[in-house]
Chains A and B, each alone.
Chain A
Amino acid sequence: MKLLKLVPEKTNIGFLKLRNVAVGFSVLLIIASIALVMTRGLNFGVDFVGGQQFRVTFEKVEEAPIVELRESIAALNLGDANIQRFGEPNEVAIRMRLNAEGGDELQEADSATVAVSNMIEERFAEQGVRIDGVDAVSGKVSEELLSTGVYSLVFALIAISIYIWFRFEWQFGVGALFALFHDVALTFGFFALTQLEFNLNIIAALLTIIGYSLNDTIVIDDRIRENLRKYRKMEISNLLDLSINETLARTVSTSLTMIIVLVSLVLLGPDVIFGFSAAMLFGVIIGTYSSIYIASPVLIWLGVGPDSFVPVESDSEKAQRRLAEGYDGAEP
């Protein structure tokens, strides 16, 4: 049986020729993302703005009576309700923000939860209504969830960059940081554009995207470091291209397996984590791109060269290299 080769054994694609175009494109995308977040805003879930969310299934009808539902809730006079389909046509999510200004918002949120769930159960009993879940979060808790979420993102970016700086060189840390910032910014843009609900799960998705994108960056960085020691005279942009080409088959394989899994999660997985899976899928694609087109050009501009690593080469590594060069036969 012949093995499937998606990427030819030897590729020689001039990735970095396009680096200015790509970086320019990315900067535009980042600006567009920020603008989108500023203008359209994120569709924050109750985790981050407080309020209540009900998930309701109407078992005896094909389609949820959204209009009636909206009217009935409006009649309760508890503030605006956002009603969206959630999964099947007979399933909806009802989201209500806290409408108490100051005052005892906790108590108010609580009584609103009871009022809405009682109303739904009485009013729509004939349609076989079933309340599948209720989330009620007070303003104070939601503020904390948001701030700890943001802190964990920022800490993760910094901690990871520091690790790379120690393990490689500071230029690589900066490159990775830029790439990660790019991924996070674009994912925020994705959420502003699609208006998918931004909740606690999405913070988890963002951190996983960061982790994945970094995986990619590190594998390429690792190869760059190796090649910098091996080909001391090669021009840096050629060396980066060589490293990216050499790891291309791996990049494609890994991204593909991730995409396969995520597509099955998006299409078949539970509705509750649809946003999470969609964010991950988007993140894997841009994370792969940013490892090549953001992290690497930064290395050129920061002047990474063979000298960057000379002092760290130990005796055993030197011996190893000579051995390796011996096997390779021709030293370029």
Chain B
Amino acid sequence: MLDFPRWKTISLTLILVIGVFMSLPSLLPKSVTDYWPDFLPKETVNLGLDLAGGSHILLEADPNEVVGLQIENMEESVRNALANANPQVRIGEISRNDGVLSFMVRDATQVDAAREAILPLTNGAGLTGQRDWDIEVRDTTRFVLTPTGAGLDQAVEDAMNSAIEVVRRRIDELGTREPTIIRQGAERIVVQVPGLQDPDELKELLGKTAKLEFKLVDTQADPNETLAGRARIGSEVYPFPDGEAYGQPILAVRRLGGIKGDRLTGAQQSFNPENPSEPVVNIQFDSEGGQKFAKLSTENTGQRFAIILDDEVISAPSFNEPILGGSAQISGSFTVESANQLAIQLRSGALPVELKVVEERTVGADLGAESIRAGVIAGLIGTAFVLLYMILVYGRFGVYANIALILNLFLILGIMAVLNATLTLPGIAGFILTVGSAVDANVLINERIGEERRNGRRIIQAIEVGYKEASRAIYDANITNVIAGVLLFLFGSGPIKGFAIVLIVGIITSIFTAVFITRMFVAGWLRRARPKELRI
């Protein structure tokens, strides 16, 4: 016990000094740490939304929708591949039912050619070499394409990755600071925006896929059939809420030959030059989209076309003249806000899949500040009583335990800052709880030393055996707590995870300070004072 090697003292002291320094940026005001030399740490503990105020939104995609889109895209690819095959393969109507794509080849001798043409489309994009689609030929001419499990997973994966990008771009448009956007599980996205008090705008912005299409109105459609929701072959019907005034709540449009909004390069809110009080959205196409749009408007001058947003017609103007400049104007019944929002959504690109808000948590900044204040006060008072208790009951050894406890708090804060961990409200509770349980190790050691003394051991041996025997129980008890902490971290969400981190870090640092640091102090005292009496 007496020989506490110098290297140990030096390295323990070094760890403590580093730990305390790491915690300082979180404790000192920013005006101080801004002028720190570069070699000093600058990382601080992040405050969770429940303390800093802000909004947390959990978005969820419906994987079935992704699958539907995948089949829809495949239909177009198959059509193109067969039309461009040499010689062209002629087929009957393609149907997409029950999650499969099927069509008939008109000429039975072209079955092999058709298979060859669509085979490249079924290759997986991934590195696993698995196919995304299975091809089956039934009744000699009917092709059935079924997406494989790997293909579906890949489709969901791709959709979510691009959804995250789109969400990020849309939120950046809001100009909020430091949003956190992360994938959670297979089909969820967490969005956290500190400081955002009113999440409604955010939800509006993310709640639309902004899938824009331009399609020609089917002028030959029978108005009664259309009103009944039926379309001719080659056409389809869309709701047209603004058309209600003209007796056209549903509009029939041509399925093929339209243009999709993914060819856009820009979109801005503006006003209709002919009617300056009417908000509109100006859009610009890329060169390919511009050419297509020019062609469409030239060939169909005087015809009506439908502007379809998220499967709903927002307006159906006519091509008064060919539109050649690659830009166009979308009108509808917009307000300035909704036109601006649409412009942002179009600029950021369409979401590959609709995202629904499944969880929303908002905390006002006032409440957060109040929680911190109450938490800190409770913590300081609780800690003060514990420190007093330890001195009253264990005397000198209580003082050592108290120093260890305070160092422990600095260490936890320092480690959390370096890990860039987030301090949440339950995290503050975890901090305070650590105070309560951190002294347990020293209580165990001190009680054991007292016991060994009463059993007649000499001072130094009593201390030696006390530390040794108590350590076993300390390790066993704390390992089980770490197990509980790890489970909390794995299963918990948000604030609970924050609590678990504090708990785990706190257990490790409290063993370190309570067992090693106090031992250093005790050894130093024994060497200096050579006590004849041990009051414990």
Contacts and interface: CB of A to CB of B under 8 A. Distances in A.
Contacts of B465: 324
Interface string A149-173: 1011001100110011001000000
A276 B479 CA distance: 23
A133 B393 contact: no
Q: For chain A, what secondary structure do more than half of its interface residues adopt (helix, strand, loop), or is it mixed?
A: helix
Contacts of B227: none
Contacts of B383: 261
Contacts of A299: none
Interface string B373-417: 011011101110110011011110000000000000000000000
A273 B476 contact: no
Interface stretch (A3-11, A14-22, A32-40, A63-71): A3-11
A200 B495 CA distance: 9
A113 interface: yes
Interface centre among B358, B485, B495, by most A CB within 10 Å?
A: B358
Interface in B431-450: 432-433, 435-437, 439-440, 443-444, 447, 450
A257 B389 contact: yes
B378 A160 contact: no
Interface stretch (B98-106, B271-279, B301-309, B486-494): B486-494
Interface centre among B50, B366, B374, by most A CB within 10 Å?
A: B374
A2 to B, nearest CB: 9
Contacts of B362: 133-135
A110 B359 CA distance: 9
Contacts of A140: 60, 358
Interface in B450-474: 450-451, 454-457, 461, 465, 469, 472-473
Contacts of B496: 200-201, 203-204
Nearest to B386: A257
A226 B476 CA distance: 14
B483 A9 contact: no
Contacts of A6: 393
A110 B371 contact: no
A145 B484 contact: no
B214 interface: no
Interface residues of B, number: 83
A152 B386 CA distance: 31
Given A134-B362, A219-B444, A106 B357 contact: yes
Contact of B473 (A3, A203, A222): A222
B464 to A, nearest CB: 12
Interface stretch (A74-82, A190-198, A263-271): A263-271
B382 A135 contact: no
B444 A110 contact: no
B497 to A, nearest CB: 10
B371 A272 contact: yes
A214 B389 contact: no
Contacts of B358: 106, 137-138, 140-141
Q: For chain B, what secondary structure do more than half of its interface residues adopt (helix, strand, loop), or is it mixed?
A: helix
A152 B490 contact: yes
A211 B425 contact: no
Interface centre among B455, B457, B477, by most A CB within 10 Å?
A: B477
Interface in A123-145: 130-138, 140-141, 145
B364 interface: yes
Given A141-B359, A276-B426, A210 B374 contact: no
Contact of A328 (B378, B436, B455, B500): B455
B481 A211 contact: yes
Nearest to B461: A327
Contacts of A247: 447
B69 interface: no
Given A152-B488, A253-B393, A258 B436 contact: yes
A31 interface: no
Contacts of B490: 152
Given A163-B479, A262-B436, A265-B378, 5 more contacts: A106-B60, A140-B60, A215-B477, A253-B439, A280-B433
19 contacts: A114-B200, A132-B367, A133-B361, A136-B360, A152-B491, A200-B496, A210-B484, A215-B437, A215-B478, A218-B480, A222-B476, A250-B440, A253-B439, A258-B433, A264-B382, A270-B371, A273-B429, A324-B465, A328-B455
Interface of B: 50, 58, 60, 199-200, 203, 356-364, 366-367, 370-371, 374-375, 377-379, 381-383, 385-386, 389-390, 392-395, 425-426, 428-429, 432-433, 435-437, 439-440, 443-444, 447, 450-451, 454-457, 461, 465, 469, 472-473, 476-481, 483-485, 487-488, 490-496, 499-500, 503, 535-536
Q: Which 3 residue pairs spanning A and B have beta carbons closest together? A: A152-B491, A264-B382, A270-B371
Interface of A: 1, 3-6, 9-10, 55, 57, 106-107, 110, 113-114, 130-138, 140-141, 145, 148-149, 151-152, 155-156, 159-160, 163-164, 167, 200-201, 203-204, 207-208, 210-212, 214-215, 218-219, 222-223, 226, 246-247, 249-250, 253-254, 256-258, 260-265, 267-273, 276-277, 280, 324, 327-329
